[in-house]
Amino acid sequence: MSLWNQARRSARLNPSIIREILKVTEKPGILSMAGGLPSADTFPVEAMRAACAKVLSDSPREALQYAASEGFAPLREWVAHKLNGMGLKVNADQVLITTGSQQGLDLVGKVMVDAGAPVAVETPTYLGALQAFNPYEPIYTSLASDGDGPLPSAIAALPHDAPGTRFAYLLPNFQNPTGRVMPEARRAALVKAAQAARVPLVEDNPYGDLWFDEEPPAPMASRWPEGTIYLGSFSKVLAPGFRLGYVVAPPELCPKLLQAKQAADLHTPGFNQRVVYEVIRDGFLDQHVPTIRERYRRQRDAMAVALSEHLPEGSEWQSPQGGMFFWVRLPAGCDALALLPAAVEAGIAFVPGGAFYAHAPDTRTLRLSFVTLSPEDIADGVATLGRVLREHLEAHAEMAP
């Protein structure tokens, strides 16, 4: 018997299949469509270099000292101003700067979830949120959904017994993993259903600025501010290496989220917050984000063409209107996880979709990122995927009785 008796929650900490796959794809020569990473070619390196130098010359002592747990005040103001422009009514006091929005998910789990408490999630949902919530031992309800997102009737059907579902975790914009966006009418209907069922919302929006065709509708939080915790991130519009995100909560929750944050890491690195604020304070993102959209739109188009050309009949997907991912459903009889070793052998990688489900996974699904490969490599990678898939289908047909 081990000397170390681990907490029960450690049994719920499991290796991320995505990280395991990424290890394989670090091998040279692999065309990886598996990552959840933004394109490093979008990082504004020069602006960051200049901002680092400015922060170190203007306020080195403050930047290198411990800092407030709430976050750097001018950055909190900036976030509140941005969100007010998107239709939310946010005071800077409600903004908690977090170490990536991933930490925001952990803090929400810590403050809101008891062991055995019900939490509703999309089908499928962001794997990293399941990882963040799992240690707090929720019981998940998977919300039935269609191409527009979860169904309002699924919210209405959530258990009503006190204390009820702690929250529904929703990703309205270019969801990870499916890429889907919830139209205006669906958002309105979901909020109405959630209000009627008294189920608060946790809205995660790291991809909303990365729209290609048209700007997505206003956040759910603008329709129900007192019933929604909103999470945002600088990872996809600037650089994930700074680990900067934010949680905006109704005032009654702010003290507890702050105390949870203090316990976790005292504060998000002050130097990083000042550098990012220095970069964005004068409207930098208004010029920068459109360049990311333009780049990703071309890559999205390349992948849409390649999928139409190379995937066998019976495969299903929708071209995403923003974000970083295509979600593909393979023909009947295919298992994406079983396909992966042959795909890696052939020089490509993707993420099998099963890990994104809280319950019964659809094993025919997989996620493809289009943002870290050139349009030419996307064409080659998808052609390889099509070939491996056909071989898999042929082998399967031969094995069938």
Ligand X SMILES: Cc1ncc(COP(=O)(O)O)c(C=O)c1O
Q: Which spans of this chain sit near ligand X (rule: CB under 6 A)?
A: 36, 100-102, 126, 128, 171, 176, 204, 206, 233, 235, 240, 245
**CA 371 → CA 38, 166, 214, 332, distances in Å?**
6, 35, 19, 28
Question: In the complex with ligand X, which residue's Cβ is closer, 71 or 245?
Answer: 245
Min dist. Cβ of residue 323 to ligand X (A): 9
Render the burial of 210-228: b for 16+ CB within 10 Å, e for the rest. Answer: bbbeeebbebbbbbbbebb
71 and 273 in contact (C-beta within 8 Å)?
yes
Question: In the complex with ligand X, which residue's Cβ is closer, 36 or 354?
Answer: 36
Position with the least CB separation from ligand X: 100
Question: In the complex with ligand X, which residue's Cβ is closer, 33 or 393?
Answer: 33
Question: In the complex with ligand X, which residue's Cβ is closer, 145 or 176?
Answer: 176
Q: Give the CA angle between residues 61, 280, 297 to the nearest 5°.
A: 140
Min dist. Cβ of residue 39 to ligand X (A): 13
Question: In the complex with ligand X, which residue's Cβ is closer, 104 or 354?
Answer: 104
Min dist. Cβ of residue 168 to ligand X (A): 15
Min dist. Cβ of residue 275 to ligand X (A): 16
Contacts of 289 (CB under 8 A, 6+ apart): 209, 210, 237
Min dist. Cβ of residue 172 to ligand X (A): 11
231 and 245 in contact (C-beta within 8 Å)?
yes
Min dist. Cβ of residue 84 to ligand X (A): 21
Residue 273 and residue 268: Cα distance in Å, rounded? 8
Contacts of 161 (CB under 8 A, 6+ apart): none
Q: What are phi and psi of 127, to 5 degrees?
A: -55, -40
Question: In the complex with ligand X, which residue's Cβ is closer, 126 or 271?
Answer: 126
